Structure 1
Amino acid sequence: MLGHPWAATELGPLPTWDPAVRAATDLVLASPVPMALTLGDELLLLYNDAYAELIGDKHPAALGRPAAEVFGEVWSMPGVGDVIEHAYRTGEPFLEKEATLPIHRRADVAEQSVFTRGSCAVRDSAGRVVGVLTVAAEITQVTRQLQSLGDFAAALAGTLTLDDVARVALRYALTVFDADRVSFAVDEGGGGWRMVRRVRGELMDEADERLPPLWRRGPADWPAPAVEAARRGGASYVDDGEPLRGIAVDRHDQKVRALAAVPLRAAAVRGGITVGHHDPHSWSAADRALLAASAELIGQAAERARRFETQHGTAQLLQRSMLPEHLPDLPRLRIAARYDPGVDGNAAGGDFYDAFQLPTGELGIVLGDVAGHDVQAAARMGQVRAALRALALNDPRPDQVLAGLDRLVTSLGAEGATHELFVTVVFGVIDADRSQVTLASAGHPAPLVRRCAPDGQARATYVDVPAGAPLGLGSRPVTRTVPFHPGDTLLLFSDGVVERRQQGLDRGLATLAEAVAGAHSGDPRALCAAATAAVPGATEDDVAVLAVEHALRPSRSASMEVPAEPTAPSRVRHWLTGQLTEWQVPETVVGAAVLCTSELTTNALLHAGTAARVEIDLSPERLLVSVADSGTRGTVTRARTDTLSSRGRGLGLIEDLTDAWGTDPTVRGSTVWFEILLPAG
């Protein structure tokens, strides 16, 4: 400022300036707030250090130049140059509380910034207007934070579970507060706590974002700042120190120097959030207000999620507890089933399946659908399933079983004084000795049979069994007996598998048949996975499938209970290698199977936190391996194979090394499985 050649401008040498102008100049230069003076008829620009930061690369060349030249096209925009020129001509002040201006902090790069700015005339000692003083306070960050708070509230409104709330809250806090580490903690309801965190730079791809967060559990007196804030009900702020020294689990925690811990504002849920930085950070009043508002939104969402999980989790557990936990293990008939709840993925529904041995040695199979998605539908489903098994054990003829069920459903409808009890079901009896299956249906989609022709090509056709009327409407089922040879697989399914909005039912049935015929093998588990994923598009209905394969030759099987210990994966690898080597499985298959099983075992122990069970089944055509846990992890989402995250990499590895894989929710956890086809001979 002092060294600028002012003598070459219309203002003249600095010592000759009017005392009032000199005083205004001294005020501008001493102010920590962005200020600028535009002096003389050319509106020459003079500013302080704070204003120099606003204009970026334009400084220092902007000093002493006409403002219109410095700001170019921006100057001619409404509310920019015209405001300064008007104040200079008339002496009238101007105030704008929120102005969005394109600021070129770097050459040729315009940033939309928000300011509160005011302009007033600068007068000399004689009272003449000789310039304009502009004071600008940038509020871009505050404005963006307020906008993001609205987006955050909208995102939280779409959450259903605490896992959903945690994902949204951590992603928001990490971005909006430009944090290096964030965490979210809630009470477990029984005195303990659970907490999940995110750190800057943690590689999270789209598939990982959909996976449940990795919660850490802690006792009632856990000294974590988020938990302490929840217990006290008050926030704490550390500008510079070692706030996580006592609970640090890795370098990400150790490097945190500034930390804010704020409790959630909720009546039914206790919890807290923390936002941390690796560098010292002063928590301004605006930061604290935004954190408090965010914590209140998170608390409300957590409260809704807790109620949802309690109500819908109970309903879903009720339904799954009514489904068979274990299907029959027969030498010539391999059986698998899968159930996926529709609607929001947590509500109970009325779809059900069952498979059981009859006194004659034959296999009874059933799949049905009770309309509804609530606890009442699940309870009625349990009544229908139990009654069907009792009727079949007394007289296994499919038409007689369904006729008896029709009378039961009619009675239930009359007892409940409702005509809305809508039940469809298909029941069959498989006679492996005679290589045939006898089926009857009450308003249910026809089963599908996959047959392998001598040329090796599989074909899938629907059994010609009359659907008839649903139960409770005077159903008169008709039976059909069709061949069921070794190598064939029978698939029973609910209408949720094939029905989609804005798509005809015939198209869905055709797509399902194509998917079943094109599957790698007739293995029941693989066909269940192929069937549930066959028809694209989301469904609001439940999805249930049951598959039975008439094996060409009996398979060999073995299992191992895996304790929740760090050494468990290595023990599984040793056991599996020995078992497959003893069965003379090709080395290439053994290597791939051991690697994939190790990944699944580690995944189960890490994510579910419970013991697991590994089962292997070897047939002449394929090797099937499954890993079941008893946790509540839920469905594992398929990951892209190019991801580098640890969870995604494990699933991508399985996708690369196997011919088919999938995950099946069970009554008390999840089962992840894979299939590897064996080389000919």
Structure 2
Amino acid sequence: MTDDDRRMRSGEIGPNERLAMNRTGSFDWDLDTGTIDVDEAGLLVFGLDPEGFDSRPASLVGGLEPEERARLEAVIRRAITSGETSYTAHFRTEGDEGAPQWTHVQARILRTADGRAHRIVGIVRDTTAEVTHSAFVLELEKRREVQTSIVERTTHALSRAVTVDDVTAALTGPGGLARLGADGLALGLVENGSLNVIALSGESLDALNDFRSRRLDRGLPLAEAVLSGRPRFVSSFQSLGREFPELAPYLGRLRFKAACYLPLVAQARSLGGMALFYRGRTSFSADERNLALGLAAIVAQSLQRALLFDEERELATGLQETMLPRRIPAITGGEIAVRYHAAWSGRQVGGDWYDVISLPRSRVGIVVGDVQGHDTHAAAIMGQLRIALRAYAGEGHAPSTVLARASRFLAELDTNRFATCTYAQVDLGTGTVRAVRAGHLGPLIRHTDGRVGQPKLRGGLPLGLATVFGDEEFPETRLDLVPGETLVLYTDGLVEQPGSDIESGMAELSAAMSSGPPQAEALADHLSERLWERWGAGDDVALLVLRRSPDPGTPRAPRIHQYVHQADPQGLSDARAAVGQALRDWDMAELADDAELLTGELLVNVLLHTEGGAVLTLEVLPEPVRRVRLSVQDRSSAWPRRRTPGEAATSGRGLMLLDALASRWGVEPRGEGKAVWCEIGPVERAGTVERAGTAEGAGTAVTGVAAGAARADGGARGGSRSGA
């Protein structure tokens, strides 16, 4: 009798029995002879009969799948060849009932003195129970990670939602359903005893469009959940038809197997309900039910904040809208467009405003301004100030007087607030603009060729502060709008943005104006679209676009206008280039050189000897023989006079050039100033056509300058090459 038999009879448990009871066996592999000795417990692990085992390694692993056997052999081979002293491996075998069984091998490699492996001893152990339990734990942890991720992602998405529209966008936009772990969603709000479905997301849910708005009753599962205040989990979607007959005809069109209907309650107030739909789910575990309830609580809190924000926003914008003009009066000789974008920060509305005021003598007053602060108080002050400024302007006062009185009015309100604004009186008949500034940004002008200029407006202190500091001086600046040019007024919210300087904002606005369409409404829309990122962020924006009606002439008599500012060094060369290009476009290139030369002479005279800019007009006269007429208008009442320059003189020859190059020329009074004009082109003489003022005849014409200079008052009232 062996020691093992004696221990078994006496009830003792030895090492081998302990290993066997734990489905653990041992093996001894002789690499030299190629045989392996495996004890009975080890053979049971491999699923082999001890009586039939032939001690061959191939027989031991014969029941393994080819992939598993190859993987085990690769582990052993790598351990032997790399000089390692041990190895471990996990492999899968087929159990008695076809269930997978996992086996763990842990072995030690014995080597000779020269490092050659000659023997491997180790143990084999059945680890199926451990692996199964581990897989269960991993699966459980994975499900909990998924649930945690759903909550975190949904919370993060809704944390940025400000309005109800933002909440619905977060739930139904890209990735919204994935964040919720659902395949479909319906969101409804309770309003005046009705349940209004504000969002439907998911394939086939458009079948429920018939139920978007209806009275709150128990005829539908979502309304029933709202009324009862209890969630409803539906594992068999089609079973709803028996309890809710009104829904039954629609169930066949919905591609879902399960759903949960959740009431949305925040601070004991029932806001509405949310339904989540699932295609692959047929039951709800306790964890999944808790997850759905948690999502409902998160959505309810977000909706409560959003509803409160929308209510405050509606109150604030309603107050603000009542302070702004309800309509813009029609104007003659131009077109006007206004845009207003309110800051997106709840009640924090600003005091930006615009106005268009009809003035005596067919003029129009335009103003854009901003009251200090971002609250309802600022909006209220804005309304009072706008009405006061409108009243002062309507009385016919000069722009400087209008702002001085508006500043006094604001100071007398004793609000400790100030305001900035730009005000201009515009005569669209003549194009004259008289503008004043009170601590505000100056206007921009878009010229007919698309260029954008920023005229220099002298300015005074902000309204209110000017009176407090006793400095109510608001100097006027005169501008001229030629037909087709556009004046743009705006508040600082359009060009100022945190983190960037105002110059970059001005450059962006100028580029947008230059690339936009010429019409006032279209240009206002273009600026809104291009600069939308700046609007609604933290400040209000008021925008006013005024365009003087264009004067394109006719195909037989085309016409261009251009304003040249006295402080613009590039304006002179731009004007010369515009004249030359226009004549080439009108197939009159032979007159371009003379026209450019005379353009320079007339403009230089204005820019040097007057105190303002000039309006340049070039047109084709529709006569039997086509000529071009060049006119330069300024604000000076002093007429040009002839001089007799010496040989070394550098000026004084302008009128001589007019005599030499123009067919005829003259001076006319125009409003507050005058216009010097000339005509260039062929001249009719006794039934023939003489090319007067061309480059070829210029040399001989100049020789007659002395005679032209002797004409009585010829320089004052004009001259003519045809003797007219």
TM-score when scaled to structure 2? 0.55
Aligned to 1:431: 427
Aligned to 1:283: 284
Amino acid at match of 1:394: E
> How has the CA–CA distance of structure 1 residues 489 and 216 changed in structure 2, closer, same or farther, with 3 Å as cutoff?
farther
Shift of 1:441: 1.0
Amino acid at match of 2:233: Y
Amino acid at match of 2:199: R
Shift of 1:333: 2.1
Shift of 1:61: 7.0
2:201 and 2:458 map into 1 onto residues whose CA distance is 59
Query: Is the partner of 1:449 in helix, strand or coil?
Result: strand
Amino acid at match of 1:430: V
Amino acid at match of 2:261: A
Aligned to 1:218: 214
1:240 aligns with 2:224: no
Query: Is the partner of 2:403 in helix, strand or coil?
Result: helix
Aligned to 1:384: 385
1:362 and 1:154 map into 2 onto residues whose CA distance is 55
1:460 aligns with 2:458: no
Tell me which of 115, 123, 126 is aligned to 1:131.
126
2:103 and 2:64 map into 1 onto residues whose CA distance is 23
1:492 aligns with 2:489: yes
Query: Is the partner of 2:429 in helix, strand or coil?
Result: coil
8 Å Cα contact 1:341-1:347 kept in structure 2: no
Amino acid at match of 1:161: T
Aligned to 1:667: none
Amino acid at match of 1:460: V
> What are the equivalent positions in structure 2 for 1:640-679 lying under 5 Å apart?
none
1:469 aligns with 2:480: no
Q: Summarize deviations over 1:308-336 as a string: whole Å, max 9, x none.
A: 11112211221123222321223422111
Aligned to 2:29: none
> What are the equivalent positions in structure 2 for 1:247-646 lying under 5 Å apart?
247=247, 254-267=254-267, 268-278=269-279, 281-344=282-345, 347-412=348-413, 414=414, 416=415, 418=416, 421-452=417-448, 457-474=449-466, 475-520=472-517, 522-532=518-528, 538=534, 539-552=537-550
> What are the equivalent positions in structure 2 for 1:27-46 lying under 5 Å apart?
40=42
> How has the CA–CA distance of structure 1 residues 149 and 301 changed in structure 2, closer, same or farther, with 3 Å as cutoff?
same
> What are the equivalent positions in structure 2 for 1:178-189 lying under 5 Å apart?
178-188=181-191
Question: Greater shift after overlay, 291-300 or 536-545?
Answer: 536-545
Shift of 1:346: 7.5
Identity across aligned pairs (percent)?
29
> How has the CA–CA distance of structure 1 residues 546 and 248 changed in structure 2, closer, same or farther, with 3 Å as cutoff?
farther
Question: Which has the greater radius of gyration?
Answer: 2
Query: Is the partner of 2:382 in helix, strand or coil?
Result: helix
Shift of 1:345: 8.0
TM-score when scaled to structure 1? 0.58
> How has the CA–CA distance of structure 1 residues 152 and 437 changed in structure 2, closer, same or farther, with 3 Å as cutoff?
same
Q: Summarize deviations over 1:580-627 as a string: whole Å, max 9, x none.
A: xxxxxxxxxxxxxxxxxxxxxxxxxxxxxxxxxxxxxxxxxxxxxxxx
Q: Summarize deviations over 1:641-681 as a string: whole Å, max 9, x none.
A: xxxxxxxxxxxxxxxxxxxxxxxxxxxxxxxxxxxxxxxxx
> How has the CA–CA distance of structure 1 residues 152 and 508 changed in structure 2, closer, same or farther, with 3 Å as cutoff?
same
Amino acid at match of 1:181: G
8 Å Cα contact 2:217-2:227 kept in structure 1: no
> How has the CA–CA distance of structure 1 residues 119 and 176 changed in structure 2, closer, same or farther, with 3 Å as cutoff?
farther
> How has the CA–CA distance of structure 1 residues 478 and 278 changed in structure 2, closer, same or farther, with 3 Å as cutoff?
same
Q: Summarize deviations over 1:56-85 as a string: whole Å, max 9, x none.
A: xxxx97699579849999xx9xxxxxxx97
Aligned to 2:11: none
Amino acid at match of 2:545: A
Shift of 1:196: 3.0
8 Å Cα contact 1:193-1:227 kept in structure 2: yes
> How has the CA–CA distance of structure 1 residues 249 and 328 changed in structure 2, closer, same or farther, with 3 Å as cutoff?
farther
Q: Summarize deviations over 1:419-470 as a string: whole Å, max 9, x none.
A: xx13101111111222212111101111111121xxxx22221232113211
1:228 aligns with 2:224: yes
> How has the CA–CA distance of structure 1 residues 337 and 362 changed in structure 2, closer, same or farther, with 3 Å as cutoff?
same
Query: Is the partner of 1:254 in helix, strand or coil?
Result: coil
Amino acid at match of 2:234: V
2:347 and 2:46 map into 1 onto residues whose CA distance is 67
Shift of 1:141: 2.9
Shift of 1:214: 13
Shift of 1:344: 4.0
8 Å Cα contact 1:43-1:66 kept in structure 2: no
Q: Summarize deviations over 1:165-186 as a string: whole Å, max 9, x none.
A: 2222345762255433211111
1:432 and 1:398 map into 2 onto residues whose CA distance is 16
1:365 and 1:61 map into 2 onto residues whose CA distance is 91
Task: Give the unaligned 5+ runs of structure 1.
Answer: 1-17, 24-38, 47-59, 77-83, 89-117, 122-127, 204-212, 555-681
> How has the CA–CA distance of structure 1 residues 276 and 373 changed in structure 2, closer, same or farther, with 3 Å as cutoff?
same
Task: Point out which structure has higher relative CO (alpha carbons under 8 A, 6+ apart).
Answer: 1
1:45 and 1:435 map into 2 onto residues whose CA distance is 105
Aligned to 2:713: none
1:476 and 1:237 map into 2 onto residues whose CA distance is 74
Shift of 1:286: 1.6
Query: Is the partner of 1:168 in helix, strand or coil?
Result: helix
Shift of 1:280: 6.2
Aligned to 1:175: 178
Shift of 1:292: 0.3
Shift of 1:358: 2.1
Shift of 1:394: 1.7
1:324 and 1:44 map into 2 onto residues whose CA distance is 92
8 Å Cα contact 2:422-2:437 kept in structure 1: yes
2:249 and 2:503 map into 1 onto residues whose CA distance is 56
2:355 and 2:452 map into 1 onto residues whose CA distance is 22
1:214 and 1:464 map into 2 onto residues whose CA distance is 61
1:505 and 1:45 map into 2 onto residues whose CA distance is 82
Aligned to 2:146: 144
> How has the CA–CA distance of structure 1 residues 311 and 72 changed in structure 2, closer, same or farther, with 3 Å as cutoff?
farther
> How has the CA–CA distance of structure 1 residues 544 and 148 changed in structure 2, closer, same or farther, with 3 Å as cutoff?
same
Amino acid at match of 2:388: A
8 Å Cα contact 1:458-1:517 kept in structure 2: yes
Shift of 1:265: 2.8
8 Å Cα contact 1:396-1:429 kept in structure 2: no
Task: Give the unaligned 5+ runs of structure 2.
Answer: 1-18, 25-40, 49-62, 80-86, 91-101, 106-122, 467-471, 553-724
> How has the CA–CA distance of structure 1 residues 464 and 65 changed in structure 2, closer, same or farther, with 3 Å as cutoff?
closer
1:378 and 1:293 map into 2 onto residues whose CA distance is 41
2:64 and 2:546 map into 1 onto residues whose CA distance is 81
Amino acid at match of 1:310: E
8 Å Cα contact 1:266-1:296 kept in structure 2: yes
8 Å Cα contact 1:511-1:534 kept in structure 2: no
Shift of 1:130: 4.5
Query: Is the partner of 1:509 in helix, strand or coil?
Result: helix
